[in-house]
Amino acid sequence: SEAADLLGLMHYMEGMRLITALELVPAKSDENVTVTNAEFSNVPVRLYLPRRAPGGLRRAMVYFHGGGWCLGDAGMKSYDHMSRRISNELNAVVVSVNYRLAPEHRFPIPFEDVYSVAKFFLQSQVLAQYGVDPTRVCVAGDSAGGNLAAAVAQQLLEDPEVKTKLKAQILLYPALQALDLDLPSYRDNANKPLLPRSLMVRFWSEYFTSDPALREAMDSNGHVPAESGPLFQFVNWSRLLPAEMRQGHEYGVPAPGSAELAQRYPGFLDPRASPLLASDARLRRLPPAYILTCEHDVLRDDGVMYAHRLRAAGVPVTHHHAKDAFHGAMMFVLRPFEMAVGHRLLNTYMDWLNENL
């Protein structure tokens, strides 16, 4: 991807998307679940409906895939497998959303797509159409999708048109802030698979612009203008991370960046892109959360800090920290990339959903 980008043959993310294309599977029903491609609010979704008799109203999940807002698809084999399993085992309706991707569609378009699907689905007549219990609906996502799920949960609180309240928000190794890209987890896991720091910085910057000036500023962690300095209180890892994650690291407020750059690309200062920037008053009203973090992951500290802030705001949080796992580990449950850690994380997650959704 990098070579093709440098040679001007294709955008870096177009090259990366070839990986996604290899993983796609058709919307194919089986004996347990009816699977169809549909559109909700003009956004493509893959819909999973359990075939067994409902025995009452069903649970439901609106799911947002990962891929740094630039890659991924609800039809990838691992996402399809997870959605089928949730639909079948939990007797749940799953709406897996194919939001538009950067760099063609930058922030806030991916957020607006997932938000419009969630808002559409939460209408009482739509829930009734699919036999869904309005008190048992959650939003969920992994990585960039976890970012979108957290942002959607926050935005729904402010929308007077939405009467249905979420039962839960599920954030799997989520990206939650673009202010400080020099957290201990970014330092410790800078070169770990599957998400090295350089790629995460690229994802963040491409979400807002292809201007290399922002990517370079983010890479040196000098992109936040001085006037936005007060926002660092919301991502101050020196007080939001436990001692064992701070060990060996010295905290310092990042050097101020260009005010002009922030004016041109203000998205990274927006809570819809960085949900950790939400005020405590806003966090207080959020639904219970399940947050998965992995030790060997640049995004580890985002999830840990959000769990801390949610708990401090009085929100019930189940924080599962996997000390032996890396970013994206839950996807590794199918051959030829099957791993015991993937099965363990997925089973723990399924158990939580069964008890709490």
Can 297 be counted among the known catalytic residues? yes
**Contact yes or no for 345/292 (Cβ under 8 A):** yes
Can 327 be counted among the known catalytic residues? yes
How far lies 298's CA from each of 134, 197, 284, in Å? 36, 6, 27
Query: Which residue among 180, 188, 297, 302 is the active-site one?
Result: 297
Bond from prior residue into 6 cis (ω within 30 degrees of 0): no
Nearest to 283 by CA among 150, 164, 142: 150
State whether residue 71 is helix, strand or coil.
coil
Can 143 be counted among the known catalytic residues? yes
| 285 backbone dihedrals φ, ψ, rounded to 5° | -95, 0
Query: Which residue among 143, 205, 228, 274 is the active-site one?
Result: 143
Bond from prior residue into 336 cis (ω within 30 degrees of 0): yes
**In whole angstroms, how large is the CA radius of gyration of the chain?**
19
Query: Which residue among 65, 223, 296, 327 is the active-site one?
Result: 327
User: Which neighbouring-strand residues pair with 172?
Assistant: 142, 292
User: Which neighbouring-strand residues pair with 257?
Assistant: 225
Nearest to 42 by CA among 109, 117, 102: 117
Query: What are the catalytic residues?
Result: 143, 297, 327
